[in-house]
Structure 1
Amino acid sequence: MPSSWLVANALWLQAGWWACVLGAQYPGLLLLVPLGLAIHLWLCPDYKAEIKALLRVALAGCVLDSVLGALGVFSFDTWPLPLWLVLLWWVLASGLRHSLAWAGRPYWRGALLGAFGAPLAYVGGARLAGVGLPLGVIETGLLLMPVWALALPLLLRIAARR
């Protein structure tokens, strides 16, 4: 896979994250996400396998965040998840077979990235998107560390499956 594709995919992940999180307050930004996903699929070398991976990962991610919300880790204004968060799962899924694939093997890479990157993204995103953290910021971050140390490697495997 050309390095330009991986760079473009990494940039898309960042832009998509911002569009989703800020889209919680400015819903017009959410329109950029389906456009970005369509471009991603159009440029993707194997779009059929990519669509399957996107569906599997987004479903698993939405279940994970719905469970965390039901357990009181997050407080959303809609049930089970707000639209911007569902779209954010599609954005994340679009990078797991590409710019984030390096974290899939060995397992510890994904575990480290998940343990440290995900809590920072959640806590930062929650503040920007107006998501409540009933347990507190630090407590939520610490709780998410082991969850995501397990979740990210599993999501990478789910995405890689053919």
Structure 2
Amino acid sequence: MARLINYLSFYVIWIICLWSAVHDRQATALIVTLTYLTLHLKLSKKPRFDLLLIASLTLLGLIQDTILIHTGIIVFHGNPPITPIWLLCIWALFGSTLDSSLFWLQKHPLLAALFGAFGFPICYQIGVSATAATWLIPDPQAWLILALIWFFLFPALFYALRFVEKRFGLGQTGKRSQS
């Protein structure tokens, strides 16, 4: 049930973040996201690990989308020079899903790669369609670039997650292993 709530919460708040971008209400995205993440961490069996995931994915999003801005692939509403707050909120939310509602993809790297190659360009396109962003290159080219990035990045995130879990002795239950 917790994974279903995580999944549904991600998409509901994702829509709120997108709405906040289009309507210049980034504070709304930030407040809703921080409220959800606070609750998520309070209920987590491994809050420090989840916080590490959330912080890491937020940083990754800052870097990746800022690179997309500065390479002339995309511009976000308001033309910020770095990844906007509302999108960092989505990245933080995404961090809360990797070891929760998306955990099942950890053991299926090819499926994660395909999901990444198709799913993430669609998410960006929804942002473009909602006027939260604009492609600066032809749509097919933007989709191809994002598909290539996410084909490799999404399974790599699960590999990194498993590595960190093993390195710090965390298992699926969130308790340190005895070995």
How far apart, in 1, do the equivalents of 2:10 and 2:125 lie? 17
Q: Which has the higher contact order (CA 8 A, sep 6+)?
A: 1
Deviations 1:27-59, CA, capped at 9 Å, x for gaps: 153121111111111121111111111111221
TM-score, with structure 2 as normaliser: 0.82
Q: 4+ runs of 1 displaced by more than 6 Å?
A: none
How far apart, in 2, do the equivalents of 1:158 and 1:9 lie? 21
How far apart, in 2, do the equivalents of 1:143 and 1:88 lie? 20
- Greater share of helix: 1
Q: Partner of 1:100 in structure 2?
A: 102
How far apart, in 2, do the equivalents of 1:74 and 1:155 lie? 23
How far apart, in 2, do the equivalents of 1:43 and 1:129 lie? 35
Q: Partner of 1:65 in structure 2?
A: 65
Q: Which amino acid aligns with 2:133?
A: V
Between Structure 1 and Structure 2, whose CA radius of gyration is higher?
Answer: 2
Q: Partner of 1:20 in structure 2?
A: 17
- Gaps of at least 5 residues in structure 1 are none
Q: Partner of 1:131 in structure 2?
A: 133
Deviates more, 1:137-146 or 1:4-13: 137-146
> Contact 1:116 / 1:145 at 8 angstroms: preserved in 2?
yes
Equivalenced residue count is 159
Q: CA deviation at 1:24?
A: 0.3
How far apart, in 2, do the equivalents of 1:157 and 1:44 lie? 21
> Contact 2:65 / 2:83 at 8 angstroms: preserved in 1?
yes
How far apart, in 2, do the equivalents of 1:34 and 1:128 lie? 23
TM-score, with structure 1 as normaliser: 0.90
How high is the sequence identity, in percent, across the aligned residues?
24
